[in-house]
Chains A and B, each alone.
Chain A
Amino acid sequence: MSSTVKSFLFALVTAVVCSFLLTAASAGLKGFQLENIEVDKKKNILKAVGLLESADRLAKEAIQDIYSNKIRGLWVTPEGEILDTDTPAETSLPVYLYVRDGNVAAYILPVNTRGLWGKIFGYLALESDGSTVSGFTVYKHSETPGLGGEIEKRWFQSNFKGKKILDRSGNLVSISIAKGSIPASFPEEQLPHYVDGISGATLTGRFLTAGLKRVLLDYEPISIKFRSRMTIEIKEE
């Protein structure tokens, strides 16, 4: 057998053996990983409304417990009507409600937007006035660690708390990420709509700004209902 053929055969066998091992590892661990991802999403929903600090060390069960006590997931139509069924149509939007003492204290919108290198997934929570941001979290992204990747850090996310998505006359302006830190000379009336950006990650900030605006526009009909003090019936589960 010539050495070229031998090399090819060896490469082939190596590739097959390696791929079998990887398939086995991936298939065998999938269940655990999916559960972790599920808990991580719930954790981020809780973080967005301030029910959980990132430093908190809680067992999976504890997180599931808080989540099922405080959060209700539901579907709404693009016109802002709440769907009664658990089987959403293709255009339906998911919303999570934070229920405190029988009232809706905040509602949480899933953020799913383009980043620089891949998609950014997270949650944006708004208080029940339909205007004040209660929190923002990111649970999955592919931005550069240390630059755009800072969007998952607390220092960046905590800036969102208390910002307003409406200007004084009640128009939707969304939240923008500034280029680097907000300078001292920044116009004061714009301050409630801007958060500190990440130096070296201007593009990530730009994509996220656009993404947040799109999400808020999509959910604007629901936000309008919140602004007009709509009462939402909370189904007991």
Chain B
Amino acid sequence: MKLTKTKHFRAFSVPLLQENPISRQMLGICSALAVTVQLKTAIVMGLSLTFVLSFSNLTISLMRHIIPRNIRMIVELSVIASLVIIADEVLRAFVYDISKQLSVFVGLIITNCIVMGRAETYALGNPPGLSFMDGLGNGAGYGSVLISVAFIRELLGSGKLLGYQVIPSRIYDWGYQDMGFMLLAPAAFIIIGLLVWLQNWLTRDR
């Protein structure tokens, strides 16, 4: 059997594009607006969410037969919250500047609908391996949208990528200006809207 046909690969690849959490399911938009002014923060946020999502899916899937039904959401929440706090502590220990820029948004992964949503709808009903791949896929799907949005916003908004100037000063001499609007949250909203349109147009039924 080819790799691309295995169940695990499909669990990973479907949420990347076809069922992308942001552009298809419209989940996790709040943080997508806030942390996409710069590529760097978007990448770190994408990685943090992927970490939290895949391990919360794994843990909850491992416990899925023993979690009492009546307290399952509380258990899911404590698993997610613990993972988020661990991610936050690690960021503060090793990439302090970025963690300051991300401020509350790493902590707010706890309330990110993607994480709870995948735990409820996927991890509770599927084996650990598949759940882990589903978490990776959804995290990567979320991260890829964040990175695309941040790429456009940082490039047009401040003429930089990853903090390095990429638009040469000669172009500024000719009268080019950075789009200040790109640094504001509504710009992310519009870009996400355009991405959704682009994806729908590319994958439309002919």
Q: Is the CB of B66 within 8 A of A22?
A: no
The number of residues on chain B lying at the interface, defined by a beta carbon within 8 Å of a beta carbon of chain A, is 27
Query: Is there an interface contact between B66 and A36, defined as CB atoms closer than 8 Å?
Result: no
Structural contact, B78 and A149, CB atoms closer than 8 A: no
Contacting residues, chain A, for B34 (C-beta < 8 A):
145-146
What chain B residues lie within 8 Å of A55 (beta carbons)? 163
In whole angstroms, what is the CA distance A6 to B70 when docked? 11
**Within the assembled complex, what's the spacing in Å between the Cα atoms of A145 and B92?**
18
A15 at the binding interface (Cβ < 8 Å)? yes
B181: Cβ under 8 A from any A Cβ: no
Closest residue of chain B to A30, judged by CB?
B93
A25 contacts which of B68, B78, B90, B104 (Cβ < 8 Å)?
B90
A29 on the B face (CB < 8 A) = yes
- Contacts of B71-111 to chain A: CB distance below 8 A: 71, 74-75, 78-79, 81-82, 85-86, 89-90, 92-94, 96-97, 100, 103-105
| Residue pair A10, B78 in contact (C-beta under 8 Å) | no
Please give the distance in Å from A87's CB to the nearest CB on chain B. 30
With both beta carbons as reference points, the residue of chain A lying nearest to B86 in the complex is identified as A25
A29 with B75: CB separation less than 8 A: no
Set of chain A residues within 8 Å of B103, measured between Cβ atoms = 145, 149
Residue pair B82, A7 in contact (C-beta under 8 Å): no
Q: Pick the contact of A36 from B78, B81, B86, B92 — CB < 8 Å?
A: B92
CB distance from B123 to the nearest CB of A (A): 15
* Cβ–Cβ contact A22 & B94, under 8 A: no
When distances are taken between beta carbons in the complex, the residues of chain A under 8 Å from B96 are 33, 36-37, 39-40
Using A10-B75, A33-B96, A40-B96 as known contacts, list a sample of 14 further A-B pairs with CB atoms less than 8 Å apart, ordered by residue number in A: A10-B67, A11-B75, A14-B78, A22-B82, A22-B86, A25-B86, A36-B93, A36-B96, A40-B100, A55-B163, A145-B34, A145-B104, A145-B105, A146-B34
Partner-B contacts on A (CB < 8 A): 3, 6-7, 10-11, 14-15, 18, 21-22, 25-26, 29, 32-33, 36-37, 39-40, 55, 57, 145-146, 149
